[in-house]
Structure 1
């Protein structure tokens, strides 16, 4: 996820200003922590779920946890392993006549939705989950790169 794009979400929602944003980026560079971890350290949010809920709201999607989630095999089969890994996409559900619902490692990148739609032929809709959960499920269900 592009750090600047994600930080803009928090700035635009009045949760911090640009000076805090600069401090957050500097701290991330020094500590090696993820953005959500650094935002917790700075008191902008109180949990990882807060971060992903705000991102979900930004993209008009629902936040879900993938911690204990396993979609049916027919849903997994809607994406090839190469598509899942290349697009950082994990399928959640398929609704006939509507489309494929996925979680993306980077839900703030609209190009990924367009690319996935072109690659699969499905209309693509988003749920948002923590990027580390999306990566873990892709590896679990589709194998590593």
Structure 2
């Protein structure tokens, strides 16, 4: 039988990083609010990040790493986007090779995060070997190597900066432009002509919306799809629209 791995709190107690009172306070906070014990101990001021990392290294059997002393190849950075690093609190260190082939060496705040390791395997196609580093150091390394905000090797601005390339949203419906104000000296058509024109539009089922209105074009495209699939009959749709228009005119 394998001996159970020591708990993080037990290691920190044995190293005299914390005492029983501090451990119980942190465990009470964890039971009530959730979260990782190591992070809670740091946030409560009971332990430093480096002390927690040292204990995690012993608990999980993974090496600890000092990110400030690492030189990172741009080819390695290009393998893992900054967004993945921030989401999973990790930082790529190197691509190395052993008897089983190439693997990605990565520093993680939580080397037991299997979801993060699976994401890296899928993204890079490489085995992943984890080391543990303080979360603060990981954050600073990300900002130092990828840049602030959302900058990363996949940023369309590239390394030289410049204007961000923006692509139109194919599903966005732009608002119709305001019609220009026109001062037409010609008198308005007689009421009888206006009624006749309205009747003609209703009879033909046209001009219910401005033909150049993007919102109208979007609805028209949707109706065509529904008609093509046999879900909607065009005549029923037009009758429903006319009923809505009649209701608006009478209200």
In the superposition, the TM-score normalised over structure 1's length comes to 0.69
Match of 2:108 among 91, 95, 104: 104
Give the distance between the partners of 2:94 and 2:128, measured in 1 at CA: 11
Would the alpha carbon gap of residues 34 and 67 (structure 1) be closer, same or farther in structure 2, given more than 3 Å must change?
A: farther
Q: Which runs of 4+ in 1 moved over 4 A?
A: 16-20, 25-29
Would the alpha carbon gap of residues 81 and 24 (structure 1) be closer, same or farther in structure 2, given more than 3 Å must change?
A: closer
Contact 1:105 1:131 in 2 (8 A): yes
Shift of 1:85: 2.6
Report which of the two has the higher share of helix: 1
| SS of structure 2 residue aligned to 1:67 | helix
Would the alpha carbon gap of residues 118 and 62 (structure 1) be closer, same or farther in structure 2, given more than 3 Å must change?
A: same
* Paired residues for 1:1-145 under 5 Å: 8-11=7-10, 13=11, 15=13, 20-25=22-27, 35-36=41-42, 38-40=45-47, 48-96=49-97, 97-143=101-147, 144-145=149-150
Report which of the two has the higher share of strand: 1
In the superposition, the TM-score normalised over structure 2's length comes to 0.43
Deviations 1:23-44 (A, max 9, x none): 1356899xxx95236333xxxx
Give the distance between the partners of 2:45 and 2:63, measured in 1 at CA: 23
Higher relative contact order (CA 8 A, sep 6+): 1
> Higher Cα Rg: structure 1 or 2?
2
Would the alpha carbon gap of residues 80 and 137 (structure 1) be closer, same or farther in structure 2, given more than 3 Å must change?
A: same
Would the alpha carbon gap of residues 34 and 23 (structure 1) be closer, same or farther in structure 2, given more than 3 Å must change?
A: closer
Would the alpha carbon gap of residues 50 and 88 (structure 1) be closer, same or farther in structure 2, given more than 3 Å must change?
A: closer
Gaps of 5+ in 1: 1-7, 41-46
Structure 1 partner of 2:228: none
Shift of 1:75: 1.8
Give the distance between the partners of 2:88 and 2:124, measured in 1 at CA: 11
